[in-house]
A and B are shown apart, each in its own frame.
Chain A
Amino acid sequence: MLVPFSWLKKYVETNSSPSEIAHLLTMAGVEIDEIKSIGNNLDSNLIIGKVINIKKHPNADRLSIADTKIDESKELSIICGAPNLKKDQLVVVALPGTKLFNPKNNKYQPLKETTIRGVPSFGMICSEIELGIGTDHDGILVLGADAKIGQSAKEYLSDTIFNASITPNRPDCLSILGIAREVAALCNQKIKEPDLKYTEITTSINDLVSIEIKDPDLCSRYAAKLIKGVKIKESPPWLKQYLNKAGHRSINNIVDITNFVMLEYGQPLHAFDFDLIENQTVLIRKSTKGEQIHTLDEETLALDNSMLTISDTKGPIALAGIIGGTRTAVNSKTTSILLEAANFNYTNIRQTRSKLNQNTEASYRFERNLRPELVEKALHRATQLIFELTGAEIHKGVIDVMPKKINKQTVSVSTKRIKQVLGTTISKSSIQKTLLSLGFSHNYSEKELKGATNLTFTVPYWRSDIKIQEDVIEELARIIGYDSIPTTPLASAIPHHSKDKKLLLVDKLKDVLVGIGMNEILTYPLVSISELEATGSLKQHSPLKVSNPMNDNLQYLRTDLRSSILKILSKNRRFFHTDPMRLFEIGRTYISNTTPTELPVEKVLLTGVLSGTRLNETWLANSNQFDFFDGKGLIESMFSELKLPIIFKKDTTSITNPGRSVSLMIKNQKIGFLGEVSSSILQFFELPDNQNVIFFELDVDQISTLQLEELNTSYISKSRFPTANRDLSFIVNQNIFSQSISEILESNDLVISALPIDIYKGTELPAGKKAITFRVRFQSSTETLKTEKINNIQNLLIEKITSEFNAELRELNP
């Protein structure tokens, strides 16, 4: 909402600067987003003059010579070519030397004294464009009657425009008067109400028009004035200028007046050409299906039976509270006007305007719930302006249809409740003073006021947002100022909390992964159908779909994090080429509920990728790529930190290379998988095919449940006797898994670990064979092991393994 400061000052007196007023308004809830100054660049030598005589230029048909009075004793002869030049106009005069705007180079340049076709011109009458305050170059700028001859044009024209953002609860502030009322309350000033007086002729509107509300639920008030003898013409300069500053285009005097009053009071109005209304009958009724209206915006709208219309006997002439129709629109030939001010059901207005996509200044105000009391004020104000500015005749009386009586709103407030909500007391006199300044009223005598603990006030007629005590408390707090309310620490008891176990696990997982060197990412949970298909996710779950997606790539709720992380990997590859990428995300996935009326299951998954060289390539670190075992090591490290026993089981998944992926198992439950991403997936995500992508996915919800069961961790006493290492190498078939051998080695009570330290496949061995070397660590909890005893165990183990796996012990070089 644009608020010209000069307009605001018509209703409230203030000596404060625009920026001080803007600050007060902002703090009190009417946020001034922007303060724009206009006319700052005007040359202070520009002067207001009056055209007192116009002569034809002797040597040029299109030029005139205007005698222009610039003070009591001085007249200048100025040559002017503007088509709108008229006698008695108040205009802006530039004398030679005054700087004027040149739109050709965007600079201000001094005016030179010139002679045009033999006649000297002693100055210039300026247009908006030469003044640098507008784009209208059709003619000279004509000033309002309040301009004074000899006055500085800069002083007269410069203004400050506020851009106010009005919260949805304050439709009253979608008006200059509404904002003026705020200023008055904040600055302790009185409001100067607009003039509502006019004279009527004797014939009554009641004898000439019939108005009926057919749907009283949707229209609580419909009032109209009938005006005849109207002459449609241009609006006077002052009116045009106010509208212009408030962001409205001037159309003609009647339309401009309805817009002016809408901006002044916040109540939308509509003017019909009365002679075009069939049978002088106005019906406020719902549309019937199939009806249409051709609007002032030159659109034909098909209406349904929920929409409220203003109709005559022929059909709709306006979409109630939203937009007028062309059939009865005010036009250059209009002489009689039916002026409407009404109050419509705000919910219905909102529904209709969103169905028809017609967001207008009128609907914007109506859907915010205007008070019906505004109707008569605005109607009289517009009538008064039409009377004053067009010289039209006003028919006697008003038709004012109100299906239900409009009750005054009252609201009570107690000092006790104020203290309970705000934490501070406000004196009764302060309550009274503040609320009266906002337009509230009461009927208490001085004495009654003293005795009362509960004060009942009548809500000002323009406020639809004050319903309960707390609303009044906010009024008090914001006018007194939030700064005046004390600042205290929370003193009440801290409630008992038990920590959210899943949140703790997520924090822990993130810490562990960051410790390992992983970088966390957070991604959009909306994905495309092709991504879900490519990652095999569609086979597992049918995803939830968004009914109003912003684009095709953001159409489905993800059911896993696969495409999310692979997309980010791919995007980063453009910047990091072969550098190591260690990414992870812990995020939600959305699985539709088996009971469709329930919310989907939001499952938390952990996903990660390793790709590129294992370390940043330097003189120390070589260019080896991440492989399966980096992923496996990461998982092992993570679960060792979680104190959960993790088992890797050979498996295949839809996104990994066969033979290079495993299921991750805890206590026979599959909690995720790890593997090398297959080349078709790499291709889909535009990832280089010569770089391994090691991928893992874990179900955090499941881990959380398992972790809770497993939480009983206690200290384990370790042996204090020395350990002994023996390296044993076995030649086995290549398809033997090392784990099956180490399990046998570790099955002995005195073996505390058996780790593979070397794998050899090569020419020294028969084809199809490999040699695995284990470092077997022996330790007893009761004694220092003697060589002989170790030898015995070792021989037993060798025998067991060679027979079980058809293995052969390989001699190791000493």
Chain B
Amino acid sequence: MENETPNLETLKIINSQAIESLNAISQTDSLEEWRIKYLGRKGIITQLLKSIPQIAPSERRTFGAKVNQIKNNLNAIFVERKNSTKNLSASSKTNTNQIDITLPGWPFPKGSLHITTQMIKEISDTFQSLGFQSTEGPEVEFDHYNFGMLNIPQNHPARDMWNSIWIEGTDTQKYESMLLRTHTSPMQVRIMENTKPPIRIIVPGKCYRYEATDATHEWHFYQIEGLAIDKGITFADLKGTLYEFAQKIFGEGRQIRFRCDFFPFVEPGVDMSISNFKNSSGHRPIKGRNEDWIEILGAGMVHPNVLRAVGYDPDIYTGFAFGMGVERIAMLKYGIDDIRLFYSNNLNFLTQF
């Protein structure tokens, strides 16, 4: 070959031999050998380029163009091949360093707020957006505030609505005995005694009743009391405010109704109920005797006797009050079917929320 003058035919043969032998290469080292053989300084293609001057002038131009084309092509194929081999070896290296990505990650501790705290927060936030401010009050309360000032005198049959836990030895001269407050309503009185209208306030806190515990009753529970007093506050405002609250907490899919109910410290009195639903296990979270509606809060227009007792003029000021059981709302929101879960504080329960 060296002695012969190459022609276009030999170019074709060299090209196909080069491609064939490159394709046949399986090892990285042999790639370099191939490069030296064909594209090296003394390689076949370089020789061909050097032989251009020897070609007959009539064919030289065509021949030269062809050799250059072959050189560029082989070069490109070689680079491509070399790169793919490189990737191949890189990926085979990764295989040996692979980790078991299914192993659990670092067990960062996960904290949680008690579901009651979360529910209080959610309800408080809702009322805060309506201009209500949170405050707290005493859990050990005078009979006077828990009942008397709320239009529930001694020996009133309405007292049966609140079975009380009494504090021993607290019959005092100034007031009647002390008890664990049976509702957050005494704070209505305390707030009004210390504030001039306008008032918009909510009071979350613990309440206690002398009561046997079962799936829907706890002797220890949380309430949120609400109070709004000003000139011109009406029953229509009560409905509007509580409707807004219920929609925010339960979403628009649940029905809400207001019916007449009795609490001695309001007139007219209201029970707000929400349509019942079934939880993931197909149970109604609270099995009311009435299956379709569950009462979630009691409310009403503050009774003139209560306003008068704190020194407000009921002809000038009107307002509404409401009280709700926090656990009950959580039960209806999350489908919890046993109130005893709340204060047994099992982490399996608490960490779900």
Q: Does B71 contact A (CB under 8 A)?
A: no
Give Cα A545–Cα B170 distance, bound, in whole angstroms. 10
Q: Which stretch in A111-119, A264-272, A313-321, A618-626 binds the other chain?
A: A618-626
Q: Does B189 contact A (CB under 8 A)?
A: no
Q: Which stretch in B16-24, B58-66, B86-94, B234-242 binds the other chain?
A: B234-242
CB-CB under 8 A for A168 and B262, given A474-B267, A544-B140, A548-B210? yes
Q: Hey, which chain A residues are within 8 Å of B267, CB to CB?
A: 468, 470-471, 473-474
Rounded to whole Å, the gap between the CB of B100 and the closest CB of chain A is 9
Give Cα A602–Cα B106 distance, bound, in whole angstroms. 41
Residues A564-611 near B (CB distance < 8 A): 568, 571-572, 575-576, 580-582, 588, 590, 596-597, 599-600, 602
Q: Does B279 contact A (CB under 8 A)?
A: no
Q: Are A575 and B261 in contact (CB under 8 A)?
A: no
Q: Hey, which chain A residues are within 8 Å of B268, CB to CB?
A: 421, 470, 473-474, 477-478
Q: Are A500 and B136 in contact (CB under 8 A)?
A: yes
Residue of A nearest to B235 (CB): A422
Give Cα A450–Cα B176 distance, bound, in whole angstroms. 50
Q: Are B235 and A477 in contact (CB under 8 A)?
A: yes
Q: Does B142 contact A (CB under 8 A)?
A: yes
Most buried by B among A168, A468, A513: A168
Give Cα A515–Cα B110 distance, bound, in whole angstroms. 8
* Bitwise interface map of B from 188 to 214 toward A, beta carbon under 8 Å scored 1, else 0: 000000000111100000100010100
Q: Are A468 and B345 in contact (CB under 8 A)?
A: no
Q: Does A494 contact B (CB under 8 A)?
A: yes
Give Cα A346–Cα B259 distance, bound, in whole angstroms. 28
Q: Which stretch in B48-56, B161-169, B330-338 binds the other chain?
A: B161-169
Q: Which stretch in B7-15, B35-43, B74-82, B112-120 binds the other chain?
A: B112-120
Q: Are A582 and B111 in contact (CB under 8 A)?
A: yes
Q: Does B215 contact A (CB under 8 A)?
A: no
Q: Hey, which chain A residues are within 8 Å of B113, CB to CB?
A: 510, 514, 520
Q: Which stretch in A208-216, A378-386, A521-529 binds the other chain?
A: A521-529
CB-CB under 8 A for A621 and B107, given A522-B114, A545-B168? yes
Rounded to whole Å, the gap between the CB of B320 and the closest CB of chain A is 9
25 contacts between A and B (CB under 8 A): A29-B259, A29-B260, A350-B155, A474-B267, A474-B269, A477-B268, A486-B236, A493-B230, A497-B133, A500-B134, A503-B136, A517-B111, A520-B117, A520-B350, A522-B114, A522-B117, A525-B206, A548-B210, A550-B219, A571-B344, A597-B175, A615-B107, A618-B104, A620-B106, A620-B107
Q: Does A530 contact B (CB under 8 A)?
A: no
Q: Does A263 contact B (CB under 8 A)?
A: no
Cβ-defined partner of A519 (8 Å) among B173, B228, B351: B351
CB-CB under 8 A for A522 and B347, given A478-B268, A483-B258, A547-B166? no
Q: Hey, which chain A residues are within 8 Å of B212, CB to CB?
A: 550
Q: Does B231 contact A (CB under 8 A)?
A: yes
Q: Does A126 contact B (CB under 8 A)?
A: no
Q: Are B243 and A546 in contact (CB under 8 A)?
A: no
Q: Are B131 and A470 in contact (CB under 8 A)?
A: no
Q: Hey, which chain A residues are within 8 Å of B158, CB to CB?
A: 168-169
Residues A412-446 near B (CB distance < 8 A): 420-424
* Bitwise interface map of A from 501 to 537 toward B, beta carbon under 8 Å scored 1, else 0: 0110001001001111111111111100000000000
Q: Are A590 and B111 in contact (CB under 8 A)?
A: no
Q: Does A27 contact B (CB under 8 A)?
A: yes
Q: Does B276 contact A (CB under 8 A)?
A: no
Q: Does B3 contact A (CB under 8 A)?
A: no
Give Cα A31–Cα B271 distance, bound, in whole angstroms. 10
Q: Are A521 and B104 in contact (CB under 8 A)?
A: no
Q: Are B318 and A421 in contact (CB under 8 A)?
A: yes
Q: Are A616 and B140 in contact (CB under 8 A)?
A: no
Q: Does B73 contact A (CB under 8 A)?
A: no
Q: Does B220 contact A (CB under 8 A)?
A: yes
Q: Does A782 contact B (CB under 8 A)?
A: no
- List residues of B whose CB falls within 8 A of some A CB: 103-114, 116-117, 121, 130-131, 133-136, 138-142, 154-158, 160-161, 165-170, 172-175, 178, 180, 197-200, 206, 210, 212, 219-220, 228, 230-237, 239-241, 243-244, 257-262, 264, 267-270, 288-290, 301, 303-304, 318, 342-348, 350-351
* Bitwise interface map of A from 610 to 637 toward B, beta carbon under 8 Å scored 1, else 0: 0000011011110000000000000000
Q: Are A546 and B236 in contact (CB under 8 A)?
A: no
Give Cα A544–Cα B141 distance, bound, in whole angstroms. 13
Question: What size tier do the contact residues of chain A reach?
Answer: 35 or more
Rounded to whole Å, the gap between the CB of A520 and the closest CB of chain B is 4
Give Cα A346–Cα B228 distance, bound, in whole angstroms. 34
- Other than A33-B289, A507-B121, give 6 A-B pairs with Cβ distance below 8 A: A168-B160, A169-B264, A474-B260, A493-B198, A571-B344, A620-B103
Residue of B nearest to A565 (CB): B345
Q: Are B168 and A167 in contact (CB under 8 A)?
A: no
Residue of A nearest to B113 (CB): A520
Cβ-defined partner of A580 (8 Å) among B109, B154, B198, B199: B109
Q: Hey, which chain A residues are within 8 Å of B136, CB to CB?
A: 500, 502-503
Q: Does A163 contact B (CB under 8 A)?
A: yes
Q: Are A523 and B104 in contact (CB under 8 A)?
A: no
Residue of A nearest to B157 (CB): A168
Give Cα A218–Cα B267 distance, bound, in whole angstroms. 29
Q: Hey, which chain A residues are within 8 Å of B260, CB to CB?
A: 27-29, 474, 477-478, 482
Q: Are A482 and B165 in contact (CB under 8 A)?
A: no
Q: Does A240 contact B (CB under 8 A)?
A: no
Enumerate the 10 nearest inter-chain pairs by beta-carbon distance, A residue then B residue, closest first: A517-B109, A423-B234, A423-B236, A29-B260, A474-B268, A514-B111, A167-B262, A494-B131, A478-B260, A497-B133
CB-CB under 8 A for A485 and B107, given A474-B260, A522-B343, A525-B206? no
Q: Does A662 contact B (CB under 8 A)?
A: no
Q: Hey, which chain A residues are within 8 Å of B243, CB to CB?
A: 487
Most buried by B among A29, A493, A502: A29
Give Cα A350–Cα B153 distance, bound, in whole angstroms. 13
Q: Does A170 contact B (CB under 8 A)?
A: yes
Q: Are B134 and A521 in contact (CB under 8 A)?
A: no
Q: Does A290 contact B (CB under 8 A)?
A: no
Q: Does A489 contact B (CB under 8 A)?
A: yes
Rounded to whole Å, the gap between the CB of A20 and the closest CB of chain B is 14
Residue of A nearest to B301 (CB): A421
Q: Hey, which chain B residues are within 8 Å of A524, CB to CB?
A: 220, 343
Rounded to whole Å, the gap between the CB of B122 and the closest CB of chain A is 13
Q: Hey, which chain B residues are within 8 Å of A163, CB to CB?
A: 289
CB-CB under 8 A for A599 and B234, given A490-B200, A576-B347, A616-B107? no
Q: Does A492 contact B (CB under 8 A)?
A: yes
Residues A343-373 near B (CB distance < 8 A): 346-347, 350-351, 367-369
Most buried by A among B105, B130, B139, B174: B139
Residue of A nearest to B100 (CB): A619
Q: Does A491 contact B (CB under 8 A)?
A: yes
Most buried by B among A420, A575, A618, A619: A420
Q: Are A420 and B234 in contact (CB under 8 A)?
A: yes
Q: Are B200 and A600 in contact (CB under 8 A)?
A: no
Residue of B nearest to A590 (CB): B140
Give Cα A615–Cα B109 distance, bound, in whole angstroms. 7
Residue of B nearest to A166 (CB): B262
Q: Are A597 and B174 in contact (CB under 8 A)?
A: yes
Residue of A nearest to B164 (CB): A548
Residue of B nearest to A482 (CB): B258
Most buried by A among B156, B244, B257, B269: B156
Give Cα A494–Cα B130 distance, bound, in whole angstroms. 9
Q: Are B157 and A368 in contact (CB under 8 A)?
A: yes
* Bitwise interface map of A from 707 to 727 toward B, beta carbon under 8 Å scored 1, else 0: 000000000000000000000
Give Cα A490–Cα B226 distance, bound, in whole angstroms. 13
Q: Hey, which chain B residues are within 8 Å of A474, CB to CB?
A: 260, 267-269
